Structure 1
Amino acid sequence: MSKYITRYGSMRLLGVLATRGEDAYARGDKVVVRTNRGLETGEVLCLATENAIKQMNKPSNGQIIRPMSADDDQELNRLKSQQQDYFQRSQKIVERHGLDMELAEVEKLFGGERLIIYFISEDRVDFRELVKELAAEFQMRIEMRQIGVRDEAKLLADYGDCGKPVCCNTHLMQMPPVSMKMAKLQKATLDPTKISGRCGRLKCCLRYEYDTYLSLQEELPRSGTEVITSSGRGKILNQEILSQQLLVELESGRRLMLHVSEILTTLDRKSPDYEQQVAEGERLLAQARADEIDLSIESTDPDESQASEAPKKKRRRRRRNRRGSGKRKDGSSESNSGAKKDNSGDAKSGSPEGSSTSNKNKKGRRRRRRRGGDNKPKQSSEGGSPS
């Protein structure tokens, strides 16, 4: 015989239910169970291990009868369709009795032996006469259960502001109170319309990271504490808990955002050892500044500086070579220009060789003009060539 943690009922109750014989079930299997309320349907979550049972708050006991069949699905759908009719008829009877209560939901068990009516009321309600009339109306056992607004959201709510199903209707087994102090510590907006859930109360998710914020806050000095930092003496103005940073105002009036590791020591003016704290802080500050100087000296190594200047000298030589090569190109252009003059003279003489060379010279001139390098060689050839 195995035991499984099973969820059942409209309130998504949890129970440790045993199987019949050696039946085995997987997560998500739909089953018919018998609990202390009666015969109903449920969903298998996991094996009932010792660790899983410890996380549950007073789980109920019962038995898994069988897996749900196609006929069971049809019967369950029929019961759900009847619940709306039961709700309307119950609402009329409540109004006739004039009771100060608001119906939230009506649940009929799978076996049909019990009808559970969930209602909301700020005060205690004497519904003994109401129960008698409801039992005569529906011919079954009536159970009245008073719930709060958070339980109403668990019954009726669908999705939260985050776009996911509400936590109280999915994975929460307990709903502990949530205070405004939790929102202030996490620096959430204090606008009630933005931090309230479907139930109208503060969102349950404000509690999820509260313990983490508390543990991280213990590692930071409080706001208003006088400190000595690596940048000097100052006072803490604000805390950034998650990033472990502090907004510090120095004696000069300058404000810095420093990591908690940059705080050398804290000072307490009310302590009798205040002068010793100041002396120790000044010693740590002087040591930190000396370490910074040593690091700066090590970073300026002469061998490294010479190695870094070596490529610059090579670049200068390359540029000079390029300039020299440009002069040599100009010299070659001078010889070419002289040759062109001779060729032009040959062209005037009417030889075919001169005409072919003149055509080539014209093409070369056009190319040089397009490149923009034809003017300088002309000037040098005119200045250096004999008249």
Structure 2
Amino acid sequence: MVVLPVRFERSPRLHAMLSAEPHAVGSRVVVQGKRGPEVATVRGEAGPPDEQARYGAVLRAATPEDLTRWEELYRQGEDLKWLLRARARERGLPVKIVAVEFTLDESLVTVSYSADERIELNSLIGELRAHTRARVNFAAVGPREQAQMIGALGACGRENCSSNHLQEFAPVSIRMARDQQLPLNPEKLSGPCGRLLCCLQYEHGQYLDLLRDLPRKNARVCHEGSGACGKVVKLHPLAGTVDVQTEQGMLGGVPAAELTRAPEATPGKGRRAEAEA
């Protein structure tokens, strides 16, 4: 027995499946997943199984009949998706039908939907009953899962990461944008899903390392070359420089190595300076 990494149609995530024999990378196989039999694509070389892990199973190599049936079910799911969207709009249901997916044996149909609040969709089951006898399962998905399933272009002009290669959604915070000195503009920091860009996490660790060698923003420093002292107003982590506002004017692009901490002010002046800052 070997373990094969496979990928389903609407997600880039790899799933480990136990197989009685290896299959070529890029080939289609029928697997027994959580929902039932489905067609998946082999995306990596076979490896040894881990006795402590739990796997799905590769049932067989997909036959031409399997692929033809899978394509028919995909088209049927797309037709039902648009039908349910129209019926939901007619009934005033605040919901977006994201995808309708069948298992290969048509025993289960999963309706993925997105809604801002909890909503009952039982009224749509009758619409499905008129077209299939499959058991119906409604699955709520979040904004990132929705972008993953539908696909979109990111600000970089490439396919969004969630539908291309991301294996999991890591937490992303506005602090990551601050550490990278990015303008805090929601339109520029949000992806197609409306949430913070997943790519903010990619270089965050490197920026943290670079920031350790720079003074903090608003810190008071002195420039060894000119002798001028002032307040750090902007950081340039990649260049290793900062901008310092002094009484004589702005010192731009000053290397951190040329700065020293400003001497402590007298108690009275220090309090007034802090109030002004």
Give me the TM-score of the superposition, normalised by structure 2: 0.80
CA RMSD of aligned residues (A): 3.1
Distance 1:188 1:224, change over 3 A: closer
Contact kept, 8 Å, 1:114 with 1:142, in 2: the verdict is: yes
Secondary structure, aligned partner of 1:223: coil
Contact kept, 8 Å, 1:106 with 1:116, in 2: the verdict is: yes
Residue equivalent to 1:234: 229
Is residue 2:180 matched to residue 1:186? Answer: yes
Is residue 2:205 matched to residue 1:211? Answer: yes
* Structure 2: stretches of 5+ with no match in the other structure: 268-277
Residue equivalent to 2:274: none
CA distance in 2, matches of 1:218, 1:156: 40
Residue equivalent to 1:32: 30
Q: How does 1:36-185 map to 2 (within 5 A)?
A: 36-47=34-45, 61-91=55-85, 94=88, 99-128=93-122, 130-131=124-125, 134-135=128-129, 137-185=131-179
Residue equivalent to 1:4: 4
CA distance in 2, matches of 1:223, 1:188: 14
**Distance apart, 1:171 and its partner CA:** 0.8
Higher strand share: 2
Deviates more, 1:170-179 or 1:32-41: 170-179
Percent pairwise identity = 28
CA distance in 2, matches of 1:116, 1:46: 27
Distance 1:225 1:91, change over 3 A: closer
Higher helix share: 1
Higher relative contact order structure (alpha carbons within 8 Å, sequence separation ≥ 6): 2
Distance 1:221 1:7, change over 3 A: same
Contact kept, 8 Å, 1:103 with 1:117, in 2: the verdict is: yes
1:4-46 per-position Cα deviation (integer Å, ceiling 9, x unaligned): 22222524443211111xx223433322111121000112223
CA distance in 1, matches of 2:45, 2:266: 57
Distance 1:262 1:147, change over 3 A: same
1:186-224 per-position Cα deviation (integer Å, ceiling 9, x unaligned): 233444333332223332222222222222112211123
Contact kept, 8 Å, 1:225 with 1:268, in 2: the verdict is: no
CA distance in 2, matches of 1:168, 1:46: 19
Residue equivalent to 1:309: none
Residue equivalent to 1:269: 264
What code does the residue aligned with 1:245 have?
T
Secondary structure, aligned partner of 1:138: coil
CA distance in 2, matches of 1:205, 1:166: 10
Is residue 2:18 matched to residue 1:15? Answer: no
Residue equivalent to 2:270: none
CA distance in 2, matches of 1:100, 1:225: 50
Secondary structure, aligned partner of 2:80: helix
**Distance apart, 1:245 and its partner CA:** 0.7
What code does the residue aligned with 2:180 have?
Q
What code does the residue aligned with 2:158 have?
K
Q: How many residues align?
A: 262
Contact kept, 8 Å, 2:30 with 2:38, in 1: the verdict is: yes
CA distance in 2, matches of 1:208, 1:271: 44
What code does the residue aligned with 1:117 have?
V
**Distance apart, 1:72 and its partner CA:** 2.7
**Distance apart, 1:117 and its partner CA:** 0.4
Secondary structure, aligned partner of 2:98: strand
What code does the residue aligned with 1:38 have?
G
* Structure 1: stretches of 5+ with no match in the other structure: 54-58, 273-387
CA distance in 1, matches of 2:187, 2:247: 41
CA distance in 1, matches of 2:83, 2:258: 70
Residue equivalent to 2:275: none
CA distance in 2, matches of 1:49, 1:189: 45
CA distance in 1, matches of 2:144, 2:223: 48
1:53-93 per-position Cα deviation (integer Å, ceiling 9, x unaligned): 9xxxxx97311122233333322222222222222443455
What code does the residue aligned with 1:24 have?
P
Distance 1:135 1:270, change over 3 A: farther
Secondary structure, aligned partner of 1:46: coil
